[in-house]
DNA sequence: CTGAAAGCGCTTACAG
DNA sequence: CTGAAAGCGCTTACAG
């Protein structure tokens, strides 16, 4: 591989001078500059970022830790991140925990060993060891989607979003509203969205049958099975159901249709997430658009602020959501 | 930051020795080893990959160039890649050209400057400057989805897949088959899939009206408009349509439904790609499952072969596809 | 079994 | 305006 040393020799200057024209700083006469540039061009020399990083302590890479790599949520998030980072000359180093909690700590260390300039963490479950690892990391850091105190977060108001959906149903005249959630360990999607549902119902004294409240996992089948439980076991059949993700909602829709019931006449359905599916499924699904892409934008912004040492007091940034009303209600 | 030097001092050994226990090679007495390990643990020392790379010339990172970051195709590809690379201790550095051709060359150079151990390129359009840049790169390299001669490729048989779909339609009794493609600059999706359609029709002398063959871009709207052109302008109305992507097909379905026609009774529809949408759209869409995830697996395998200097003669690996027959035909 | 020294490819005070 | 030298944090022959 061709190095700065060889360029220096060919152009009959010192490595210092070559470095100066490379980085366009320090004085260097037009003459010499031209000579060096010519040699660089001829040789196709590309400086080693690695060597550079070792000296400058900047790598221009951002580590991103994802819970799942191939979901709409993740890919939209990464799109948002990439949009601002690419513009600033940063690349993204991707790691994927596949929902294995220990991997988060492993990757945190790995990213540290690679001297990334900053880290974005998207996670579903916060645990103590993770929080401790983060706090002693000393690298610019932003979490996304889940709140960790004392650390910069980009969040949605999951509680209110869920409440909004229930209130919409209530306004439309639905009274027997069932709920398909996920494990409450996931504070944002599991706990807060459920709390929003529960509170909205409580506020106007709508009763809830036990079996109306189901807990699934993040896939379509799970929505299907949860809906079956609800329909089979309830005394008072619900006339509406809120699912905390679109895929759960779509699974629920499948069951409802299979059971010979109509949406929304017999049972109205709402999901959350504004997945592409929600638009094209039939009937089209009422949902909440959380705009993960914007979360990516904001998170990148916050991280850049930290990296550049400005505005480091800001800890929480909330991203607006949008209720999309479609034919399933 | 804490370095190997400090560990050496604290453990009263040389840096050489610390390095040896870190990498678990060379002789080092149990005693000394324990002492060093203890200090490492106490201090939370994490060696700098950067410094290491500079010496060893290996970075354990793989550069991935994507044409679009937030598509199902990309995210499935990355999932496949990550699955094998993570296992071997490689991380993925992601770059996104957003379909801007010059960015490919820019990122190729950038990845070189970062001394990635290998590069995976997913691209839609091959041009001469790109091919030249690649050939002088001297880094293990694999392309995905498009064939570049003399370079390792992981491919589908786009031509045959398209033909299979047309033949299925013919077998089902459809005779007036229209086609929605994309620009032929994209050799795999644009040119080859069109050629498959054309040849299948020609082989049994099925006539094709000019306006049956439309060219769109990669989105739903474009499928909608193309279908409208077909229906409005054709003398003999087609009884089936093949679109080269699922989103084009779904756009076509939208138009067909809006026009008050039924699928598949009036017009049958097929797409390609086996997107999630294709399963849940109604009627469910007949399509080709190209398994991008498997492409990722195979591409990673091929690249690893190159990196490890084995099996470097293999240039092309074809991934099987699967025809998924559903209710739209 | 252990260590001193050179070197990976850069940048950056410092001196001139 | 230009260069010699030190140093970033590691690894690796080489010597003992």
Alpha-carbon span B272 to B248, nearest angstrom:
9
Find tokens 């990296």 and name the residue. A307
Does A322 contact chain B (CB < 8 Å)? no
Does B96 contact chain A (CB < 8 Å)? yes
Of A329, A162, A326, A164, nearest in space to A240 by CA: A329
- pLDDT given for residue A189 in this prediction: 97
Residue B46's closest chain A neighbor by CA? A113
Conformational region of residue A155, where left means phi above 0, alpha means psi within -120 to 50, and beta covers everything else: beta
Q: Phi and psi for B176 in degrees, rounded to 5?
A: -110, 85
> In the structure encoding, which two tokens stand for residue A75, read together?
């890919």
Asked whether the bond before B254 is cis by omega within 30 degrees of 0, the reply is no
Find tokens 């989607």 and name the residue. A145
- pLDDT given for residue B311 in this prediction: 73
- pLDDT given for residue A165 in this prediction: 98
- pLDDT given for residue A139 in this prediction: 93
Distances (CA, A) of A76 to A93, A118, A209, B150: 16, 19, 37, 35
User: A277: pLDDT confidence band, cut at 50, 70 and 90?
Assistant: very high
Say if the Cβ atoms of B78 and A61 lie within 8 Å.
Answer: no
- Please give the angle made by the CA atoms of A141, A143 and A146, to the nearest 5 degrees: 160
Alpha-carbon span A96 to B78, nearest angstrom:
10
pLDDT below 70 — which residues of chain B?
A: none
**List of residues 6+ apart from B258 with CB closer than 8 A:** none
Distances (CA, A) of A19 to A4, A22, B141: 8, 5, 30
Q: Mind listing the pLDDT tens digit for each residue in A102-155?
A: 999 999 999 999 999 999 999 999 999 999 999 888 899 999 999 998 899 999
Alpha-carbon span A319 to A156, nearest angstrom:
5
Residues recorded for chain B:
329
CB of B104 within 8 A of CB of B129?
no
Of B260, B289, B248, nearest in space to B76 by CA: B289
Average pLDDT, integer, range A29-53: 92
The residue that leads in pLDDT, A26 or B240, is: B240
Find tokens 């991008």 and name the residue. B292
A54 is near strand C: CB distance < 7 Å:
yes
CB of B259 within 8 A of CB of B231?
yes
Identify the burial level of A308 via C-beta atoms within 10 angstroms of its C-beta, where 0-12 means exposed, 13-18 middle and 19 or more buried.
exposed
Alpha-carbon span A119 to A112, nearest angstrom:
9
Which DSSP state fits B11?
T
Say if the Cβ atoms of B76 and A70 lie within 8 Å.
Answer: yes
Does A112 contact chain B (CB < 8 Å)? yes
Average pLDDT, integer, range A45-61: 94
Average pLDDT, integer, range A201-211: 95
- pLDDT given for residue B313 in this prediction: 76
Q: State which residue has its Cα closest to the C1' atom of C11.
A: A55
Say if the Cβ atoms of A250 and B280 lie within 8 Å.
Answer: yes
Alpha-carbon span B68 to B59, nearest angstrom:
25
Q: Mind listing the pLDDT tens digit for each residue in A281-309?
A: 999 999 999 999 999 999 999 999 999 98
Alpha-carbon span B256 to B258, nearest angstrom:
5
Instruction: Please provide the distance, in angstroms rounded to a whole number, between the alpha carbons at the two ends of chain A.
Output: 64
Find tokens 């067909």 and name the residue. B256
In sequence order, which ranges of B120-271 are alpha helices (DSSP H)?
128-135, 158-171, 193-203, 220-233, 246-258
Q: In the sheet that A177-182 helps form, which strands lie side by side, from edge to edge?
A: A213-216, A177-182, A240-243, A268-270
Of B118, B117, B113, B4, nearest in space to B51 by CA: B4
- pLDDT given for residue B18 in this prediction: 93
Say if the Cβ atoms of A48 and B78 lie within 8 Å.
Answer: no
B16 is near strand C: CB distance < 7 Å:
yes
The residue that leads in pLDDT, A26 or A21, is: A21
User: A317: pLDDT confidence band, cut at 50, 70 and 90?
Assistant: very high
Strand D nucleotides, any atom under 7 Å to a protein CB = 1-13
Helices (H) and strands (E) in chain B, counts: 13, 12
**List of residues 6+ apart from A219 with CB closer than 8 A:** A247, A248, A251
CB of B268 within 8 A of CB of B240?
yes
- pLDDT given for residue B293 in this prediction: 96
Does B106 contact chain A (CB < 8 Å)? no
Domains, chain A, with CATH or none? 4-47 (1.10.260.40), 57-156+293-319 (3.40.50.2300), 158-289 (3.40.50.2300)
- pLDDT given for residue B309 in this prediction: 85
> In the structure encoding, which two tokens stand for residue A87, read together?
């513009």
Does A106 contact chain B (CB < 8 Å)? no
Alpha-carbon span A117 to A65, nearest angstrom:
14
- pLDDT given for residue A26 in this prediction: 77
Of A276, A293, A294, A297, nearest in space to A285 by CA: A276
Q: B61-66 and B91-96 as β-strands: parallel, antiparallel, unpaired?
A: parallel
CB of A136 within 8 A of CB of A128?
no
Average pLDDT, integer, range A320-326: 97
Strand D footprint at Cβ < 7 Å? A 12-17, 20, 26-29, 31-33, 51, 54-55; B 1, 3-5, 15-16, 19-20, 22-23, 25, 45, 47-48, 51-52, 54-56
Put simply, the chain B residues between 171 and 210 with a CB less than 8 A from any chain A CB are none
Distances (CA, A) of A135 to A103, A144, A147: 17, 16, 14
Helix (H) or strand (E) holding A93: strand A91-96
Alpha-carbon span A43 to A37, nearest angstrom:
10
- pLDDT given for residue B27 in this prediction: 86
Please report the beta strands in chain B, taking only residues with DSSP state E, as ranges in sequence order: 61-66, 91-96, 118-122, 141-144, 152-155, 177-182, 213-216, 240-243, 268-270, 287-289, 316-318, 322-324
Question: Of the candidates B44, B54, B69, which has its C-beta nearest A75's C-beta?
Answer: B69
Q: Mind listing the pLDDT tens digit for each residue in A148-176?
A: 988 999 999 999 999 999 999 999 999 99
């Amino acid at each position: 591989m061709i190095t700065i040393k060889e360029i220096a020799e060919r152009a009959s200057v010192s490595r210092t001078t070559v470095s100066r024209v490379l980085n366009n700083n320090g004085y260097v006469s037009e003459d010499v500059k031209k000579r060096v540039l010519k040699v660089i061009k001829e040789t196709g020399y590309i400086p080693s970022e690695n060597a550079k990083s070792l000296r400058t302590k900047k790598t221009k890479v951002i580590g991103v830790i994802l819970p799942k790599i191939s979901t709409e949520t993740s890919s939209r998030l990464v799109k948002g991140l990439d949009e601002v980072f690419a513009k600033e000359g940063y690349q993204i180093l991707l790691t994927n925990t596949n929902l294995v909690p220990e991997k988060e700590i492993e990757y945190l260390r790995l990213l540290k060993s690679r001297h990334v300039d900053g880290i974005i963490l998207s996670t579903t479950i916060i645990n103590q060891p993770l929080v401790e690892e983060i706090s002693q990391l000393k690298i610019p850091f932003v979490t996304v989607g889940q709140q960790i105190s004392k650390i910069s977060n980009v969040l949605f108001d999951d509680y209110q979003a869920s409440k909004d959906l229930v209130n919409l149903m209530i306004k439309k005249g639905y009274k027997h509203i069932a709920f398909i959630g996920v494990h409450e360990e996931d504070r944002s999607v599991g706990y807060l969205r459920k709390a929003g549902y529960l509170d909205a119902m409580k506020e106007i004294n709508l009763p809830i049958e036990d079996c109306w409240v189901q807990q699934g996992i993040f896939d379509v089948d799970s929505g299907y099975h949860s809906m079956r439980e609800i329909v089979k076991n309830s005394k008072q059949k619900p006339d509406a159901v809120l699912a905390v993700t679109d895929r759960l909602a779509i699974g629920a829709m499948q069951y409802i249709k299979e059971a010979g019931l109509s949406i929304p006449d017999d049972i109205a359905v709402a999901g959350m997430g504004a997945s592409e599916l929600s638009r094209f499924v039939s009937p089209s699904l009422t949902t909440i658009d959380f705009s993960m892409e914007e979360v990516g934008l904001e998170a990148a912004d916050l991280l850049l602020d930290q990296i550049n040492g400005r505005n480091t007091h800001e800890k929480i940034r909330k991203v607006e959501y949008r209720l999309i009303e479609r034919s399933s209600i």
